[in-house]
Chains A and B, each alone.
Chain A
């Protein structure tokens, strides 16, 4: 076992951890801080890690920093919900508003590879119309990128992650076969399938970023079911084990345990980043700075970087940095069945219906949602029962002990952009002396109407399979997006279609915070697709001398 990755940087002295080998190392190029690297990237998750790879392969000098540790999953990850909280971003954040968000688990990560190290691997494309909701559907805001272009980048990411999925996807424009064959359905997924069949709607095997066949040094998924606490066998195709090894091979440097506190600017341009590593503040010079800290840390860094030139924070002439936070809806319906389901086996969401992402009639609200089968681990399930049904005492214990017969369906639902849902800075500071974020969030009428429709529908689906003692879990949220939206107009967006800030031409933002809308699908595939596009666009612009 190596030194504790949580307390000592691992990527140093010309090498980085080999994520495929206990105690192993791979050579890594390093850049002196006084060298002005082409790109310093803040964050190595779905946005930053992917972009680091693309830019390094395009020949740029790249330093990518992450506040979290550099894990080797094979030796560092336990099969344990509690211990694996080390993958979450658990620094203090204040939450308020009518629907205060519970942070720290399913919506944030603090590790090299970001939250993809513990994501549920569900890899979905947006419905094409969801890139133009304002024009086509009358709500939200249009993306400045067309769906056909995004479709090509989805192809690239799906190939890179060897997504296991169905041969024929039931919804949307024709797409190719997924690179790897779909995983078998577990019993929980079969309940989704039977319910959908009974209600007469389409369902399919969920396209999922865990291997269904060997790939290089990684083995296929063993269906251990601890996916959302990190994969200890490397079947999960996280950024940590996919894009980053490629990035390092192409010459990128990763700096772990490197918390960026401020982006420096001079004469209207970014000049580098101040970051905390090994107990001291340091400065890395760069020709370009990419902020990729996800929907909370990205606006926090931009706001914490306010200076005389940009007193309201960087890239914030529109006033939109931190605004339009969209936390996707994650409500559920649950029930009991005669079968032994044992939903702890396999990835939690092996079957899906996107019916209500593509069907607009019969709704009294805007937007779409999908729903998936579920497999909650004991602590998550206990919190669901205790929170959602107010069970405690022997009632809670007895219900927990029937868990092998529980089945559930959970939505991933679209939240509309609303400037009142936002990230600001609290007065408190954290262990680095940086002001911590305050996250203000509330469901509005549209979200409430969608939730009602979705939980009623999921409940009907369970009923159609014979599930009894059904109940509805009304309070959960998941992925976060928004807070630095992209657009065509500098007054109504923070970055343009290339993720380049309108105000500071060498400052870029590349993560889920650029989403103008979120659709009813998990965002990681789209974040990676946008990062791939951004990498290509930067290469093209550099070739034309437009950086």
Chain B
């Protein structure tokens, strides 16, 4: 897929009035987050494979560390402020869920989930999404609830916490204290992403390297 916002990088604004000190610290810490030693190596491998299918890495941009961020959440076992009455807490839900995903792959295809090719992995994930599961492991974890209340929100939240994902969207990213001036349609502040082929004289590439 063609990059809609060529050369646009939210991080180029890091040292501009769009990023206050606390934002620089928070994002810096996030970018430096590595995978913690939590779960079993097998569970971590399964998670990496699931994350790759749910949120493929951006092309031609630095990879996100979504898996590390999900693992970090699992390690801290932090609540979101609510728990579906049929689901266990964060860490336990992920432990059971990853085991069940792997069991589902073993049962249907005779291989661990982590080594499946993309199409096969998606077939397993679709079955879980639709609750069409066979593995006995799902008896203690309703598959559709795990999918929609845990797996999807945790993974997409981790991925879209990363500046690479923001850049690919043409999202402005952090914006305090400068904020924005031009609010109308088709108007762009010089520190915003320019979209390819938007009909302007100066190319999007040229404008995007000057957002910082």
Which residue numbers of A lie inside 8 Å of B, CB to CB?
Answer: 75-83, 88-96, 100-105, 108, 184-187, 190, 221-226, 232-233, 339-342, 344-346, 378-379, 381-383, 386-387, 390, 392-394, 396-398, 400-404, 438-439
Residue from B4, B54, B83 in contact with A93 in the complex, judged by beta carbons closer than 8 Å: B83
Give chain B interface residues in 122-180, CB to chain A under 8 Å. 122, 125, 129, 148, 152-153, 156-157, 159-161, 165-166, 168-180
Residues on B with beta carbons closer than 8 Å to the beta carbon of A344: 171-172
A78, B163: Cα distance in complex, Å: 14
A92, B93: Cα distance in complex, Å: 15
- Interface of A, secondary structure class, is loop
A79 and B173: CB pair below 8 A? yes
The 8 closest A-B pairs by CB, nearest first: A104-B81, A222-B179, A79-B174, A103-B82, A187-B185, A224-B175, A90-B81, A224-B179
Which residue numbers of B lie inside 8 Å of A, CB to CB?
Answer: 1, 4, 18-23, 25-27, 30, 53-56, 58, 78-85, 89, 122, 125, 129, 148, 152-153, 156-157, 159-161, 165-166, 168-188, 192-193, 195, 198
Q: Which residue of B lies closest to A377 (CB)?
A: B171
Q: Which residue of A lies closest to B179 (CB)?
A: A222
B82 and A101: CB pair below 8 A? yes
A529, B23: Cα distance in complex, Å: 35
How many whole Å from A192's CB to the nearest CB in chain B? Answer: 13
How many whole Å from A228's CB to the nearest CB in chain B? Answer: 14
Q: Which residue of A78, A96, A398 has the most chain B CB atoms within 10 A of its CB atom?
A: A78
B85 and A232: CB pair below 8 A? no
A100 and B195: CB pair below 8 A? no
How many whole Å from A344's CB to the nearest CB in chain B? Answer: 6
- Interface of B, secondary structure class, is loop
Residue from B1, B55, B166 in contact with A396 in the complex, judged by beta carbons closer than 8 Å: B55
Residues on B with beta carbons closer than 8 Å to the beta carbon of A184: 183
10 contacts between A and B (CB under 8 A): A92-B83, A104-B81, A187-B187, A340-B186, A341-B185, A342-B192, A345-B183, A383-B152, A392-B125, A397-B58
B81 and A105: CB pair below 8 A? yes
Given A79-B23, A224-B175: A95 touches B83 (CB 8 Å cut-off): yes
How many whole Å from A182's CB to the nearest CB in chain B? Answer: 13
Residues on B with beta carbons closer than 8 Å to the beta carbon of A75: 21-22
Residues on B with beta carbons closer than 8 Å to the beta carbon of A82: 26, 30, 157, 161
B177 and A91: CB pair below 8 A? no
A400, B165: Cα distance in complex, Å: 9
A424, B16: Cα distance in complex, Å: 49
A339, B187: Cα distance in complex, Å: 10
Q: Which residue of B lies closest to A219 (CB)?
A: B177
Residues on B with beta carbons closer than 8 Å to the beta carbon of A381: 160
B165 and A78: CB pair below 8 A? no
B185 and A223: CB pair below 8 A? no
How many whole Å from B159's CB to the nearest CB in chain A? Answer: 7
